[in-house]
Structure 1
Amino acid sequence: MEKFTKLTGIAAPMPLVNIDTDMIIPKQFLKTIKRSGLGKNLFDEMRYDRDGNELPDFVLNQPAYRDAEILVAGDNFGCGSSREHAPWALLDFGIRCVISTSFADIFFNNCFKNGILPIVLPEEAVAVLMEDARKGSNARMTVDLEAQTVTSSDGQSFSFDVDPFKKHCLLNGLDDIGLTMEKSAAIDAFESKAQQERPWA
């Protein structure tokens, strides 16, 4: 998993509330177990018409936001079913951070496990950042995980809370497999000892 330390990038405004995981990645794209290739279908029903043509009014289809790495969203982002494909699709598109007033619990935890930083901020702070995101590609936000701050393009800074363990994992690029591999020496020693003590097993 790629480390998340400090990100300065374009933020896309998406002021909708209750964006669920089926809106993030519709059910027909859940057939794969690969984490790559889902970005093209991120927000599929909002991005494309029935013939597969881009809808120009959708924010991520607009030239200013095609390379967005931060999403500023409305309340209760990631609600609905607990599909891990939702953060996979966001990450494959290039989104590394989502800012909202609240998240669904399962989606929130899945983000950390896949290298995305979900940030919860008060409504007033999200409103400021939403307005900043509307300025387009010339307005770049900075997310500093170590300092736990989000800074708008004009220098307004907001502090956010993050679980220390989840912060450690993101800073060091550790998903569940990475956390296990940190214990590889202990695991090898246990298996070696077990083989000596129980060679028949």
Structure 2
Amino acid sequence: MKIRPKYRKKYGLIPYALNQLEQAVMPNAANHRESYRCPECKRPVMLRTSKLKRKFFAHRVKRYCKLERSSSVLAKHVLRLTFEQWLKGKGDPIEVSHFCQSRQSIPREEIAYVKINSSMSSPLAAADLVLFDNFDVPFRAFSFDHRNRSVSPIAVMELSSEEVLSNPYLLSPLYPNSQTPPFKSDSGPEQLSLSLFSSD
């Protein structure tokens, strides 16, 4: 699916780039003297400044890159960046909202790092993005827009790229009846109190 102009304006052409240490760097924190690569195609990007003095990344050589054309790919990278900032203690809590259940905050203390699918082994190939715990074990996995339907050893939550681009701090499964296990620190999802149907 193509990227809507409002999301292109919000996140830019390339929301972040990778430095030589493979760390995500935002355009406003980047330095013109350093070299950077695109997080999707791994080709060199350059830091540019617009007429409005806004910094942004652009590919050095204009070639096809999914990050510039696909909302699913953009959402994957926006979510990765959101998780990485969140792990550093920046930003709001990231919550998961299941259909007809209360929101659950993802427990920050149990997450060590986040990985994108480009370097994952085949058992996790169904996921676009995976959170790993402190023991290097997959904790939770996410996929976008029905793209991956293969079987995975961990529950893969399918997300809408539109919803993630709209608000990366609130994640809702694409399918209302999809079941992903509650977080370890939770006692489980709360039951909704349907007072209209109670026999009081």
Name the TM-score class by shorter chain.
Answer: under 0.3
TM-score, normalised relative to structure 1: 0.26
Higher relative CO (CA 8 A, sep ≥ 6), structure 1 or 2?
1
TM-score, normalised relative to structure 2: 0.26
Larger Rg: 1
More helix by share: 1
